[in-house]
Amino acid sequence: MNAVLGILVLAAAKFLFGIKIAITLLTVLICAIGGIFGALLIIILNYLGIAFV
């Protein structure tokens, strides 16, 4: 359940808020394993310009 919510948070950030996150197999795996916290980690790293740009 947490994995599904993580992927939904990532999709909402990309499509609803316009954040330029590259949806790749790696980002989906991080969200599937980390759930919501994984999605937030991806969003933060993207915002800082470190990864997933």
pTM score: 0.84
Instruction: For 1-53, write each residue's pLDDT tens digit.
Output: 888 999 899 989 989 988 888 889 999 999 989 999 999 999 999 999 898 77
| Residue in the block written with tokens 């980690």 | 41
Evaluate whether residue 53 is within a structural domain. Answer: no
Evaluate whether residue 15 is within a structural domain. Answer: yes
- The answer to whether the beta carbons of residues 40 and 30 sit under 8 Å apart is no
Domain count along the chain: 1
Confidence (pLDDT) at 37: 93
* Residues of the domain holding 34: 2-48
